[in-house]
C-alpha cells in the first residue's frame, strides 16, 4: 500500500497581497490558484503533455504549487513527473489508487489547514 508523504510548507499563506505578488507572473487568461481542472481526452490525445506543460511553463504554473500529488497509472512515466521537484515544489507520484490512503492524506491536509 503506498504511503503519502505529508510535508508542511512555510510558503502557504492566506495573505491576499502576498498571494497576488506570488502569482503575478501568471497570464491573465489562466485561472489563478486555487481551482479544479478536468482534462478529458482519448489515449494519445495529449492530456499528460498539456498538464506537464502547464506545470513547467514560467508564464503559467511553474513553481506556483508547494505540493503536487500525481496519480499515474504508467510507472514508466514517473521520472518525468519527479523531475518537477524543486526548492519550491515537492512532487509525489503514486501508481496505485487506494481510496483509504487518499482519505487519510486528505484528512492530514485539512488538519494542517485548520492549524494555520
User: How do residues 14-32 score in pLDDT, each as one tens digit?
Assistant: 566 666 666 777 777 777 7
Is the preceding peptide bond at 63 cis, omega within 30 degrees of 0? no
> Pairing relation of β-strands 90-94 and 67-71?
parallel
C-alpha cell at 99: 481510496
Q: Mean pLDDT check: name the lowest of 12-16, 30-34, 58-62, 70-74.
A: 12-16
58 against 14, higher pLDDT: 58
- The confidence score (pLDDT) of residue 13 equals 53
In a domain, 76, yes or no: yes
**Position with higher pLDDT, 106 vs 46:** 46
Residues above pLDDT 70, as percent of the chain: 78
- Same domain for 78 and 105, yes or no, is yes
Dihedral angle at the C-alpha atoms of 51, 54, 56, 61, nearest 10 degrees?
Answer: -130
Q: What is the pLDDT of residue 5?
A: 58
Q: Please give the grid coordinates belonging to residue 8.
A: 508542511
Do residues 18 and 58 share a domain?
yes
The number of distinct structural domains making up the chain is 2
Check if the beta carbon of residue 15 is closer than 8 Å to that of residue 107.
Answer: no
User: Is the same domain home to 85 and 99?
Assistant: yes
Identify the domain containing residue 71 by its residue range: 65-116
What is the average pLDDT score of the chain?
80
**28 within domain boundaries:** yes
Q: Which of 45, 64, 83 is the last residue of a domain?
A: 64
Domain co-membership, 37 together with 49: yes
The neighbour count for residue 66, using CB atoms within 10 Å, is 14
- Per-residue pLDDT for 2 more than 60? no
Which DSSP symbol is given to 4? P
> What is the average pLDDT across 91-105?
86
Three cell numbers at 50? 498539456
23 neighbors 56 (Cβ within 8 angstroms): no
- Note whether residue 1 is domain-resident: no
- Residues 76 and 116 both lie in one domain: yes
Q: Cα(67)–Cα(86) distance, rounded to whole angstroms?
A: 10
The helix/strand/coil state of 92 is strand
Amino acid at each position: 500500500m503506498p504511503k503519502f508523504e505529508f510535508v508542511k510548507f512555510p510558503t502557504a499563506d492566506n495573505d491576499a497581497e502576498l498571494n497576488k505578488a506570488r502569482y503575478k507572473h501568471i497570464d491573465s487568461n489562466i485561472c489563478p490558484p486555487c481551482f479544479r481542472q478536468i482534462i478529458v481526452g482519448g489515449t494519445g490525445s495529449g492530456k499528460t503533455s498539456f498538464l506537464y506543460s502547464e506545470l513547467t511553463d514560467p508564464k503559467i504554473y511553474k513553481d506556483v504549487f508547494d505540493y503536487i500529488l500525481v496519480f499515474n497509472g504508467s510507472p514508466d512515466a514517473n521520472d518525468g513527473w519527479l523531475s518537477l521537484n524543486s526548492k519550491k515544489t515537492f512532487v509525489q507520484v503514486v501508481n496505485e489508487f487506494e481510496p483509504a490512503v487518499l482519505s487519510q492524506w486528505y484528512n492530514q491536509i485539512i488538519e494542517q489547514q485548520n492549524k494555520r
